[in-house]
Structure 1
């Protein structure tokens, strides 16, 4: 699970990132332009978004995200507590609205609720693709009743592909999602891991389900 946290108060931003990092991979931004750029990569399972941020405010960031057709769940986390602001945030496409100051346990619970509603939360759930099951809690993979041994990155790669089956994922999206923006590897690692993942799936007959879209990226067939 990968989150984007947007907050211009740097000490608070660092505190939120630290709080969430025990459950999620977390990217961060402290202004609207960076937030919009990161959100447009469409690699996050949810966004925690402040309203009063420099350059582009949170409401505008959300509007641009929704204009592009992105359905990433957005939780507003802001000091603006008026009814008008709450209504505006939700009417513009926000999914939840939490007012500062907040309790850490409530923030995490609301994020988990967003992820459950969107179908992204797999930490304690099983997701399926044909005869493959990803057991989120144990991070095990079962194919046609047999266990598949995958590395952590191979698991995350397969999970991302299943969550987006039928959609073309660019190499950049896959790289940013699985390895992160701060990784010291190169984008060529995507091809290497995709090759190894196909090899792991081949004995079970699923390797051909991962299609290479020449010059773009990859797509996992619809079930």
Structure 2
């Protein structure tokens, strides 16, 4: 993997195993994000560009196979290494057919896991990443960091673009204020702060003002959702 593309998402609910993976991968030069549940994996997976994702099949809320399918449906192309105690042939075949790129059975040697991550990372470097995301008549360019509706440019400050990008990557999903604080501001404090509402208000005026239909919708008491009319 190239120096700038060594970010890995580890999806593992067992705290001891997760800690060992994060510690060992970090020691080998990777930037590691941890998700302890299927819902957290979906939130992180669609919002960031990972070189490799490792995922346990047995998670406390959504099983790993379902998480992987939803990530693929959401356009996530990062190679996935399934790490699971379910090691029968049928289990491995099901995992690979669901979108996994490799399968490692627990218990495993970390040296082997590292070798498989490195191999998948080399494959990830060759994947052509989508550079323009679209929802309805909205387009955001991830390279130039610009946005437009119906071809008309929308002037956004960097933080506003980050917020809009996160909403677009989670199209159709309800995004809470706490999620926005964590993934856009990298902050972990009381979600009752009004910084989210202020920024969403600014972005909404720029994106939806004087348009044929709104894209950004408030979900009362929870957060926001970006979606185009059916």
TM-score (norm 2): 0.62
Q: CA, structure 1 residues 134+203, in 2 after alignment: closer, same or farther (shift >3 Å)?
A: same
In the alignment, structure 1 residue 65 sits paired with structure 2 residue 65: no
Does the Cα contact within 8 Å between 2:163 and 2:184 map onto a contact in 1? yes
SS in 2 for 1:72: helix
Does the Cα contact within 8 Å between 2:135 and 2:227 map onto a contact in 1? no
Which segments of 5 or more consecutive residues in structure 2 lack a partner in the other structure?
1-6, 12-17, 47-51, 73-78, 104-111
Q: CA, structure 1 residues 76+208, in 2 after alignment: closer, same or farther (shift >3 Å)?
A: same
Which of 132, 143, 147 matches 2:149? 143
Which position in structure 1 is the counterpart of 2:106? none
SS in 1 for 2:43: coil
In the alignment, structure 1 residue 75 sits paired with structure 2 residue 75: no
Which segments of 5 or more consecutive residues in structure 1 lack a partner in the other structure?
30-34, 51-57
Which position in structure 2 is the counterpart of 1:14? 26
Which position in structure 2 is the counterpart of 1:102? 115
Q: CA, structure 1 residues 156+86, in 2 after alignment: closer, same or farther (shift >3 Å)?
A: farther
Q: CA, structure 1 residues 130+85, in 2 after alignment: closer, same or farther (shift >3 Å)?
A: closer
Which of 157, 161, 166 matches 1:155? 161
The aligned length equals 191
In the alignment, structure 1 residue 200 sits paired with structure 2 residue 202: no
Q: CA, structure 1 residues 77+220, in 2 after alignment: closer, same or farther (shift >3 Å)?
A: closer
Q: CA, structure 1 residues 185+172, in 2 after alignment: closer, same or farther (shift >3 Å)?
A: closer
Quote the offset at 1:186 in angstroms.
Answer: 4.6
Write out the 4+ residue segments of structure 1 that deviate beyond 6 Å after TM superposition. none
